[in-house]
Structure 1
């Protein structure tokens, strides 16, 4: 008999800055106790960066739009997908999220650089109906 995989955890949050903290707390609370010391901080930071980017660049109406998160373990990784309903706001790098090369005096533009350094792998995928998903994976130790 095959082992039944864990069901992914799914959340929807309003496109509001307060959702960043709520999303980070939800992800941390869903990790098994033995993974929290190893992955909790890194997954929390990935969650914060990706949810912040989704709110800033992929939503239009704070009172109507939602950010979706899915977390699941598979193939030696914890996978986090953060999805937004848009393809980017005009004037904010509309389209696919990309790594930036911010100037030293710039106050922003480093979120995806952090994601790139923390995640084992990550990608950007269009959603089937509308919007964008950023999927990042963090590897976890065998037997952890």
Structure 2
């Protein structure tokens, strides 16, 4: 495997190496470290806190619900030649999931009952956009973060 790709109208300016993740609880920490290092290489360390939390959630979900091998990489997407967003993609051999089903399972604020997809609630709050795509045999889960300040977020 050489790249993980989710179709997008924006061109990809840069792409990280493809990272193979450990098939266990170390996957989240390994991906956080890779993401943090790559953002530093791209001079985008300000995205680190949000994107490393997103990385933890996506890697954890892949290990918890998917099947190995687990892969990940980052893409810098551009608009008119300028960096616009960074996309994290995590892949596994699981069947995937319907985003609408997960979002529909979220309980109202203040509810203490456990609900499926709570980690993805964090992803939804932090990412500018996220979703899933099945590219046989892989399920890809991706999240975008804008490289420029977002209204109400900095």
Which TM-score band (shorter chain)?
Answer: 0.7 to 0.9
Deviations 1:38-80 (A, max 9, x none): 1001110000000001111112xxxxx2211010111200000
TM-score (normalizing by structure 1): 0.77
CA positional deviation for 1:86? 1.3
Contact 1:12/1:68 (8 A) holds in 2: yes
Counterpart of 2:64 in structure 1 is 56
Query: Mind listing any 5+ residue stretches in structure 2 that lack a counterpart?
Result: 1-11, 79-83, 150-154
CA distance in 2, matches of 1:69, 1:40: 16
1:25 aligns with 2:33: yes
Query: Mind listing any 5+ residue stretches in structure 1 that lack a counterpart?
Result: 60-64, 89-94
Deviations 1:109-128 (A, max 9, x none): 3111111111001111001x
CA positional deviation for 1:106? 2.1
CA positional deviation for 1:13? 1.2
2:140 aligned to 125, 133, 136, which one? Answer: 133
CA positional deviation for 1:108? 6.1
Q: How many aligned positions are there?
A: 126
